[in-house]
């Protein structure tokens, strides 16, 4: 039986899951896991307790929202500071402190940057993004980009910290499908980029 082709949104969601795991494990030195199941959702949202979002545009367009319980964001922040050798007395104690909020914003910036690099390396497609914003939030806010409100697709990925605290990535893409051009499958991405640029 022929292998079923994955949809582009699912393939990019898997890249995002791996990227998010790598970034947090590298910065904290602790294990981060993600669920083996993607969830299809209608729209991405900012959700309590701490959320960050970033839009990316270019050869493909989309929106990334990351949502953290206060326990998850504070655990990841504390582990990262300890892993970098910061003395205990210099580590913030408030999950809603500027230090924790800024840490989340910087992590999401690293995640979207690494995600875009992996997509470029695999598909030869480029996107840019603005600076992610992290904010404390008490009520869910649905997000969408007006230009592709009726043609978007979205997925949700569930993560767990080493202590079992939850956080989530929600990605929305403008309706798109990445299809290899016939005859170019044998060439490396580097060769193709060299020809293209």
Are 35 and 157 in contact by the 8 Å Cβ rule? The answer is: yes
The reported pLDDT for the residue numbered 96 is 96
* pLDDT for 3 beyond 50: no
CA distance 145 to 56: 10
pLDDT digits (tens, 9 = 90+) for 76-123: 999 999 999 999 999 999 999 999 999 999 999 999 999 999 999 999
Cα gap 69→115, rounded to integer Å: 23
How high is the mean pLDDT of the chain?
91
Q: Which two tokens stand for residue 129?
A: 């993004």
Average pLDDT, integer, range 44-63 = 95
Of residues 15 and 195, the one with the higher pLDDT is 15
In three-state secondary structure terms, 47 is coil
Reported as a single tens digit per residue, the pLDDT across 152-164 is 899 999 999 999 9
The domains of the chain are located at 8-196
Residue 117 makes CB contacts below 8 A (sequence gap 6+) with none
Query: CATH top-level class for 8-196?
Result: alpha beta
> Is the predicted pLDDT of residue 63 greater than 50, yes or no?
yes
CA distance 44 to 141: 9
pLDDT average, residue stretch 29-50: 96
The pTM is what?
0.88
Count Cβ atoms below 10 Å from residue 152 Cβ, excluding itself. 21
pLDDT for position 12: 97
């Amino acid at each position: 039986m022929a292998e079923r082709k994955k949809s582009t949104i699912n393939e990019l969601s898997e890249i995002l899951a791996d990227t998010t795991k790598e970034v947090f494990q590298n910065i904290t030195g602790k294990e981060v896991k993600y669920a083996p199941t993607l969830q299809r959702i209608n729209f991405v949202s900012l959700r309590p307790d701490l959320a960050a979002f970033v839009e990316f545009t270019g050869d493909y367009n989309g929106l990334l929202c990351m949502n953290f319980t206060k326990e998850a964001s504070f655990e990841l922040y504390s582990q990262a500071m300890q892993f970098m050798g910061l003395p205990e007395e210099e580590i913030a104690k408030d999950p809603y402190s500027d230090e924790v909020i800024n840490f989340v914003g910087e992590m999401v910036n690293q995640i979207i940057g690494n995600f875009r690099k992996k997509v470029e390396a695999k598909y030869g497609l480029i996107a840019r993004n603005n600076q992610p914003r992290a904010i404390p939030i008490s009520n869910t806010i649905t997000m969408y980009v007006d230009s592709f409100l009726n043609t978007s697709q979205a997925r949700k990925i569930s993560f767990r910290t080493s202590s079992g605290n939850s956080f989530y990535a929600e990605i929305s893409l403008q309706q798109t499908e990445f299809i290899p051009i016939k005859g170019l499958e044998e060439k490396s991405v580097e060769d193709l980029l060299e020809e293209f640029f």
